Amino acid sequence: MRFSQLLEGVAPVDRIDADPEIIALCVDSRDVTAGALFVAVPGYVTDGHQYIAQALRSGAAALLLQRDRVDAAHLPKGPLALVPDTRATLASVAAAFYGHPASHLRVIGVTGTDGKTTTCYLINAVLEEAGSETGLIGTVDFKIGGRWQQNDTRLTTPAAPEVQSLLAAIRGARAGYVILESTSHGLELRRLDCCEYDVAVFTNLTTDHLDQHGTVAAYRAAKGRLFEMLGEPSIKTGARYAVLNRDDPDFEYFRDRAAAQVVSYGFSTAADVRASDVELGGDATRLKVCATGVDFALELPLPGLFNVSNALAAITVGLREGIGPATIAEALSKFGGVPGRMERVDVGQPFGVIVDYAHTGEALRKVLDTLRPGVRGRIITVFGSAGERGHSRRSGMASAAAELADYTVVTDEDPRSEDPMSIINEMTATLRAAGRFEPADFMAVLDRQAAIGEAMRRAKSGDLVLIAGKGHEQSIEVSGRKLPWDDRVAARRALAELGFEGA
């Protein structure tokens, strides 16, 4: 595609010199090869404009630069364009490069602090049961037609070129729908621009990601962009709508931001789609679903009220997409769960082991509340908290464990450039302030494998060991490196050391 074609619709833009053929898009100068367009994006740690010379040496055919980041009197020779915001322009250029794939898909976006991934999987299950070909872009996996592949990026929302490339692959697989897990980071950093959302789903909002957004108001506003994007122009003709959690305190905020019809779900009698007669079990939940002209029973193979809420969001989408209650109930009744979300590890040991992604205080609190009724003995938690993230996560996780767990092992988790013991010390200080004592109520073990092993050794028949914080993730981030790691593998290794290796 010609450079000028990629810039169609981008304004204002200053184009200089020739109009080369572009065969690739790159935002990392190390990835540049001959014929690529190098897009220089300002980042949190470094600025792509510092690597223009390197990109040109590697064969970049053209440059896309941000006007306020360069000296107009000393621009490099060759094809380039100056724009006000390269990050925003990148999404437009990427969509053009891949043939505007979202224009040919029904795009369902899901945002919220907790429950996004599970809700995406539940929506996918409902659509598949109805006979639709689907794609999915999320934290755990990418689904392209009938093929699943693990998301190894550690990013729920990849950069805009990767998002558009995945959308193009999903379109190429002849899918009609794509479910797009839409994070506040992805929305604020414009990675999800040009995705042409048809449906926007909100799960809930709690305090998180303040390291990125600064304030709760800014965090809320970033998520609100998803609902404003429902009003953007599109050649598609299908109905657009927002699906909002009526029970969340921020319901009205998102209702007012939605540039399309709003339909609500929840336990409230004011919700358009609501749950009643809920019977919670250790591994499953029974409930009745009520909506205008619809009333059906459902057995959901997931525990906890929060999963009922996630299921209601998926049910609401299914009903609005014209899928019948019997099909929806069938899809959800055989739902197989999400990797790393309340995932059990069982090799014949006399106590339970669950791996979960809960990495905020609110998420851990929900998981512990859900698990408690089904545990005869003690709940032993193992968790850490990520470096270079908000300190409220650390105190929140420790506070939830102090209140709801019987014993806690605090350990390492993605310290990044921070001192892991400093992070651990913050959490143990919170545990002490909450009236917990070491070693009677908690202990700190720096090595995560050793910490999991310690929790297993303390567990007795009827107890439950909850390993929280990493879930499906396949690495630990330390000082710029990604070291191989999987909590589920670590759990099995610890159980094997105790003599439990399964059949």
- DSSP letters for 283-333: S-EEEEEEETTEEEEEEESS-SHHHHHHHHHHHHHHHHTT--HHHHHHHHH
| Beta strands at 464-468 and 475-478: parallel, antiparallel or unpaired | unpaired
Does residue 207 fall inside a structural domain? yes
Identify whether residues 319 and 362 lie together within a single domain. Answer: no
Does residue 93 fall inside a structural domain? no
Given this model, what pLDDT does residue 213 score?
55
412, 385 in Cβ contact below 8 A?
no
Does residue 201 fall inside a structural domain? yes
Nearest partner of 243 among 225, 264, 257, judged by Cα: 264
Given this model, what pLDDT does residue 390 score?
81
Nearest partner of 444 among 459, 426, 471, judged by Cα: 426
State the angle between helix axes of 86-97 and 160-172 in degrees (0 to 180), rounded to the nearest 10. 20
Q: Which domain holds residue 296?
A: 101-333
Identify whether residues 230 and 358 lie together within a single domain. Answer: no
Count of the separate structural domains present in the chain: 3
Does residue 388 fall inside a structural domain? yes
Does residue 92 fall inside a structural domain? no
From residue 359, how far is each of 16, 117, 178, 208, 389 by CA, in Å? 48, 14, 26, 10, 11
Cα separation, 402 vs 459, in Å, equals 18
Q: What is the CA radius of gyration of the chain?
A: 24
State the angle between helix axes of 448-458 and 487-497 in degrees (0 to 180), rounded to the nearest 10. 50
Query: Mean pLDDT for each 10-residue chunk of the chain (503 residues)?
Result: 91 84 95 96 88 95 94 88 94 96 98 93 98 93 88 73 96 97 93 97 79 78 96 94 97 97 97 96 91 94 93 98 97 93 93 94 92 94 93 94 98 95 97 97 98 97 97 91 94 96 64
Q: Of 86, 115, 139, which residue constitutes the final position of a domain?
A: 86
> What sign does the dihedral 309-313-314-320 (CA atoms) show?
positive
State the CATH number of the domain containing residue 27. Answer: 3.40.1390.10
Given this model, what pLDDT does residue 282 score?
78
State the CATH number of the domain containing residue 126. Answer: 3.40.1190.10
Does residue 485 fall inside a structural domain? yes
Identify whether residues 198 and 320 lie together within a single domain. Answer: yes
Identify whether residues 449 and 489 lie together within a single domain. Answer: yes
Q: Of 273, 301, 333, which residue constitutes the final position of a domain?
A: 333
338, 302 in Cβ contact below 8 A?
no
Identify whether residues 378 and 491 lie together within a single domain. Answer: yes
Nearest partner of 122 among 250, 285, 254, judged by Cα: 285
24, 59 in Cβ contact below 8 A?
no
Torsion of CA 478, 484, 489, 491, to 10 degrees: -10
Given this model, what pLDDT does residue 503 score?
46
Identify whether residues 377 and 301 lie together within a single domain. Answer: no
Given this model, what pLDDT does residue 465 score?
98
Identify whether residues 15 and 150 lie together within a single domain. Answer: no
29, 47 in Cβ contact below 8 A?
no
Return the residue matching tokens 């959901």: 300
Identify whether residues 48 and 188 lie together within a single domain. Answer: no
Does residue 304 fall inside a structural domain? yes
Cα separation, 2 vs 21, in Å, equals 4
Identify whether residues 302 and 376 lie together within a single domain. Answer: no
Centroid of chain to Cα 291: 29
Q: Which amino acid is at 473?
A: E
> What sign does the dihedral 65-70-72-78 (CA atoms) show?
negative
Q: Of 333, 357, 378, which residue constitutes the final position of a domain?
A: 333
Identify whether residues 322 and 400 lie together within a single domain. Answer: no
Given this model, what pLDDT does residue 212 score?
65
Given this model, what pLDDT does residue 211 score?
55
Identify whether residues 297 and 385 lie together within a single domain. Answer: no
State the CATH number of the domain containing residue 385. Answer: 3.90.190.20
Cα separation, 325 vs 295, in Å, equals 8
User: What single DSSP character describes residue 502?
Assistant: -
For residue 469, give every residue at least 6 positions away whose Cβ sits within 8 Å of its Cβ, in sequence order, or none: 357, 358, 359, 383, 384, 385, 386, 397, 413
Largest CA distance in the chain: 74
Does residue 503 fall inside a structural domain? no
| Beta strands at 177-181 and 199-202: parallel, antiparallel or unpaired | unpaired
From residue 161, how far is each of 16, 63, 88 by CA, in Å? 23, 15, 12
Identify whether residues 164 and 207 lie together within a single domain. Answer: yes
Given this model, what pLDDT does residue 422 score?
97
